[in-house]
Structure 1
């Protein structure tokens, strides 16, 4: 993988649709703790990495866009390291 992960918002929406059994157009923008744990698990599997998220990072994730920004930071650091 190059320096930038190919993870996008649509990927996260698709992952949450799988969890909830809802169509992608009905997946909520807000992310709860269960949804966040699911996303972290799937992203770690997809990229064969471990994202060691800090308490501050976790506390800052309330939406899909928040999650995407944090995941990009972690995946980019992992790819560079």
Structure 2
């Protein structure tokens, strides 16, 4: 993969909807450790590369938007590196 990943907010919400068996519109913005682990697993599978996140990055992920920003940064760094 090269360039910026095509991962979007809707992708993460859809992944969380799958985990919770709720419609995407009912997925809460805040995510816990189980949801974060699920998202990381699915994103790593989709992009076929590990998300190499620091403890500080992980600690800063509390919402879907936080996860999106951190995941995009990690994926872009891996693609460019």
CA deviations 1:39-70 (Å, max 9, x no partner) are 00000000000111110000000000000000
Residue matched to 1:32: 32
Gaps (5+ residues) in structure 1? none
Aligned to 2:13: 13
Instruction: Please tell me the root mean square deviation across aligned C-alpha atoms, in Å.
Output: 0.6
- Displacement of 1:77: 0.5
Superposition map of 1:1-81 within 5 A: 1-81=1-81
Q: TM-score w.r.t. structure 1 length? A: 0.98
C-alpha distance in structure 2 between counterparts of 1:5 and 1:50, whole Å: 14
User: Across the two proteins, how many residue pairs are aligned to each other?
Assistant: 81
Gaps of 5+ in 2: none
